[in-house]
Homo-oligomer: A and B are copies of this chain.
């Protein structure tokens, strides 16, 4: 009979199954719709690990900026029985975070760290700032800018701290003008480079993201500055963008794929342990790839 039913194109109604079983095998990912070109790599990692365990993945997009959009996206997944929620580079408003916590669904933030005790998997942003800056220092640079970084949220603050630490260790005192804050975007990279100007003292720049690095690179070219001969640029993220641009960008690369994998493992742990899995904050190592934008 089952076989016959299957022949006739019978499909299980998972809504009914989940209703009675009170559990589901789907993991939900909430992604900020901001143009993050690394989200795909994280999703690949999630997908791969999820499928290894027989889980299904659904993703919903949410505009990071609007709390109302966030709320709708969150409700879409909370109001149906998902086994866990992964949040990709999204900073929840207080209300929405509260709602998430109260849902009793295991969750984990990905690619973003936080001050409080919520679970997350991300790179060590302090290390990123430090390694990028130190790389340039080791190449002999002394005047090094930090471009397009958001100074206040957790991520940017840590990267700035790492940058300052590396400079400090080398007895370099940064000028205020060396740090050009921004929102990690192409335009922010462009603006930072414009602010430094054609006659800048800087010989090296740490860019907050690949897109910011490309913005800075293109603007440098407009200004008549040659990369890497006049100016070295090191990028943070290490997506494919680094390799399609000329010159190819040296980068501090984050392992986004692994973040996805580990995120799924976190969810699984929370499910089997029935615990909220607090204070699970895991840092994924980064790696520097030297390409052609530094010397």
Contact = CB atoms under 8 A, between A and B. Distances in A.
Given A11-B78, A16-B19, A60-B59, A40 B35 contact: yes
Interface in A61-117: 61, 72, 75-76, 78-81, 99, 102-103
Interface string A201-213: 0000000000100
A26, A56, A80, A245 — most chain B CB neighbours (10 Å)? A80
A197 to B, nearest CB: 20
Q: Interface residues of A toward B: which range?
A: 35 or more
Contacts of A16: 15, 19
Interface in A136-154: none
B61 A60 contact: no
Interface in A223-262: 240, 244-246
A15 B61 contact: no
Interface string A8-24: 01011111101100000
14 contacts: A12-B79, A15-B15, A15-B16, A15-B18, A16-B19, A26-B76, A33-B47, A43-B61, A51-B72, A56-B76, A186-B240, A186-B244, A221-B246, A245-B245
